[in-house]
A and B are shown apart, each in its own frame.
Chain A
Amino acid sequence: MTAVEVRGLVKTYGSLRAVDGIDLTIEKGEVFSLLGPNGAGKTTTVEILEGHRESDDGSVQVLGFDPAAGGREFRERIGIVLQESAVEPELTVTEVLDVYGDVFPRRRPTGELIELVGLEEKSSARVKTLSGGQQRRLELALGLVGDPDLVFLDEPTTGFDPSARRQAWSIVENLAGLGKTILLTTHYMDEAQFLADRIAVIAAGSIVAEGTPDTLGGREQAEATIRFAIPAGKSISDLPIRPVSTANGMVTISHPEPTRALHQLTSWALDNGVELGALSVQRPTLEDVYLQLVGDENGG
């Protein structure tokens, strides 16, 4: 089952093609993450899918609806956390969840949502007295109040402290566990790595790469990096493999076959009776791959 189907989506603002021919397919139950630099067109794309903006070209289907015309039936099944939004400042946290929740035919209880986002202590506080991160948590709760089948999260954890971010991640994980579909934009690579089943990187209105967090941009085939401290009494020329760089006594080796390289290095260390201090092996991180992808796009 497909939750979101987008073909040749185009949105222009004056002469700017903010979204320039995007194709997307998101399966039901998938956590899909859109990554991309500021101004890449993420929010524009997401808001077209939500029905907030109209496209200029291409076809869009969300839960079988045309979002621009979906109306009430469509909105009863989606949950929205906008990148930039606000809540009635004069109402309390509980009141806001009550009044927005009551418009849905199927709703999650206010108390449960308050607990879910960790706002128990603020349940009767006016919205205007909340801190930025607390308000953002309330907005996340509001996105879930209608027990939606599909949740749009546009930078949902911006402004969260680290523990609140972890808490939000587990909320999203739970939603995914319940079979909900989630479209997430974020600038945090660890967030995408942790949550996303699939990622699309968008730059200047076009998708430049798509894949799972582990395979995006050929990440699984990229060379691994091995690092360690040069053993006392040894020099670089003693090593069995040429390092790509050395700095502050640390050696860095890039190798397409890290197993073989490690075997050579550790055998050499054992034979010579030395220790490879601070030894580590790393695949390029999602961030490395991402920066390369959007860097390429900016350069070309």
Chain B
Amino acid sequence: MAAERPSDLALIWQQTRYQNKIFWRTPIAAFFTLVFPLMFLILFTAIFGNEEISGLGVTTAQFFAPGLAVFAAASATYTNLAIGTAISRDNGILKRVRGTPLPPWIYITGRVVSAVYIGALAVVIMMGVGVAFYGVNVYWRTIPAVIVTFLVGVACFAALGMLVAAIAPNGDATPAITNATLLPVAFISDIFIVTDDPPAWMEALGNFFPLKHFGDAFRAAFDPTLTGAQFHWDNLGYMALWGVVAVVLAARFFKWEPSKGGGRRQKKREKAGA
């Protein structure tokens, strides 16, 4: 009987496909991941004009599009994985999965691969709109670095998303946790604003979190004033470190059972007076 077992690869592909389906059937998630970051690009170029930013030697779009692409990729992995996984646990879906022969790591991998795929799509949309409408330049010599930086970055943020899912008390609390972390960090990571002379503590804080490293490494690949392949191993290594720590902690605290009293289903029943 063991011979007829589906292969791991087939199962991962299957799980990924269904997670993608679920994503596209949740319009609110699709909007916030794919469309919402684009609105910043449109806004910033409208407010500042698409001129060369003084002191940086790049246009507004050339500077912000890579950073916003990184922000979108982080949303697709960190925010979506944390919220989606926590809600699935509340609903009892994770428990159901745990009762089947599907190896848990394959289920998690399916969710992560789906999130990475959506993240890649978000990056392509952002850079594509930049190239098509805002004169953003892409350089062939940095494409390998773009891909590697993207993969290391989303791996790190996917791990952080799973960590939030692991420690969040319930699905309702998760959006608050992800928004209250990702947004402030984005402000000190040169995603939405660039501060000429930030206070030392703010710079230190920005450097502490992985988002700035993701943004810096990714943006360097689109910087017209630089040359070479633009692999920033220091940034990549730092993100990898965050990722590994997050994976270890997430694995340590991850639960498949809904917490007693925190679940949506439970609440629904209480409301119904059952």
Binding site for B on A (CB under 8 A): 50-52, 72-73, 75-76, 78, 80, 82, 84-91, 95, 99-100, 102-106, 126, 142, 146
A100 to B10, CA, bound (A): 13
A175 to B52, CA, bound (A): 73
Determine whether the beta carbon of B101 is less than 8 Å from that of A95. no
Determine whether the beta carbon of B100 is less than 8 Å from that of A90. no
> B2 interface residue, CB < 8 Å from A?
yes
Give min CB distance, B66 to chain A, whole Å: 32
**Tally of A-B Cβ pairs under 8 angstroms:** 78
A126 to B25, CA, bound (A): 10
A-B residue pairs in contact (CB < 8 Å), sample of 12: A52-B95, A52-B99, A73-B2, A75-B99, A82-B92, A86-B93, A89-B91, A90-B25, A95-B21, A99-B15, A100-B100, A126-B25
Say yes or no: A86-B5 contact (C-beta < 8 A), given A80-B99, A102-B14: no
Q: A-B pairs with the 7 shortest C-beta distances?
A: A103-B102, A86-B91, A90-B25, A75-B101, A105-B4, A85-B92, A76-B101
Determine the chain B residues whose CB is within 8 A of the CB of A80 once the complex forms.
Answer: 96, 99
* Nearest neighbor of B100 in chain A, beta-carbon distance: A103
* Nearest neighbor of B103 in chain A, beta-carbon distance: A72
A115 to B10, CA, bound (A): 27
* Nearest neighbor of A13 in chain B, beta-carbon distance: B260
Determine the chain A residues whose CB is within 8 A of the CB of B88 once the complex forms.
Answer: 88
A104 to B5, CA, bound (A): 7
Determine the chain A residues whose CB is within 8 A of the CB of B95 once the complex forms.
Answer: 52, 82, 85
Q: List B86-124 residues whose CB lies under 8 Å from chain A.
A: 88, 91-93, 95-96, 98-103
Q: List B1-46 residues whose CB lies under 8 Å from chain A.
A: 1-6, 10-11, 14-15, 18, 21-22, 25-26
Q: Of A50, A73, A102, A142, which one neighbours B6 at CB under 8 angstroms? A: A102
* Nearest neighbor of A126 in chain B, beta-carbon distance: B25
Binding site for A on B (CB under 8 A): 1-6, 10-11, 14-15, 18, 21-22, 25-26, 88, 91-93, 95-96, 98-103, 257, 265-266
* Nearest neighbor of A128 in chain B, beta-carbon distance: B25
A75 to B100, CA, bound (A): 6
Say yes or no: A86-B100 contact (C-beta < 8 A), given A103-B6, A105-B6: no
Determine whether the beta carbon of B100 is less than 8 Å from that of A52. no
Give min CB distance, B84 to chain A, whole Å: 11
Determine the chain A residues whose CB is within 8 A of the CB of B15 once the complex forms.
Answer: 99
A275 to B158, CA, bound (A): 82
Determine the chain A residues whose CB is within 8 A of the CB of B18 once the complex forms.
Answer: 88, 91, 95, 99
Determine whether the beta carbon of B93 is less than 8 Å from that of A87. yes
Determine whether the beta carbon of A51 is less than 8 Å from that of B99. yes
Give min CB distance, A136 to chain B, whole Å: 13
Say yes or no: A91-B22 contact (C-beta < 8 A), given A76-B1, A106-B1: yes
Say yes or no: A102-B11 contact (C-beta < 8 A), given A52-B98, A84-B92, A90-B22: yes
Determine whether the beta carbon of B100 is less than 8 Å from that of A146. yes
Say yes or no: A90-B99 contact (C-beta < 8 A), given A52-B257, A105-B6: no
A99 to B106, CA, bound (A): 13
A104 to B93, CA, bound (A): 17
A50 to B18, CA, bound (A): 26
Give min CB distance, B55 to chain A, whole Å: 48
Determine the chain A residues whose CB is within 8 A of the CB of B3 once the complex forms.
Answer: 105
Determine the chain A residues whose CB is within 8 A of the CB of B92 once the complex forms.
Answer: 82, 84-86
Determine the chain B residues whose CB is within 8 A of the CB of A126 once the complex forms.
Answer: 25
Determine the chain A residues whose CB is within 8 A of the CB of B93 once the complex forms.
Answer: 85-88
Determine the chain B residues whose CB is within 8 A of the CB of A146 once the complex forms.
Answer: 100-101
Give min CB distance, B191 to chain A, whole Å: 30
Determine whether the beta carbon of A106 is less than 8 Å from that of B4. yes
Say yes or no: A82-B99 contact (C-beta < 8 A), given A88-B22, A106-B4: yes
Determine the chain B residues whose CB is within 8 A of the CB of A89 once the complex forms.
Answer: 91
Determine the chain A residues whose CB is within 8 A of the CB of B91 once the complex forms.
Answer: 86, 89
Residue among A89, A95, A100, A103 with the highest chain B CB neighbour number at 10 A: A103
Say yes or no: A91-B99 contact (C-beta < 8 A), given A82-B92, A84-B92, A105-B4: no
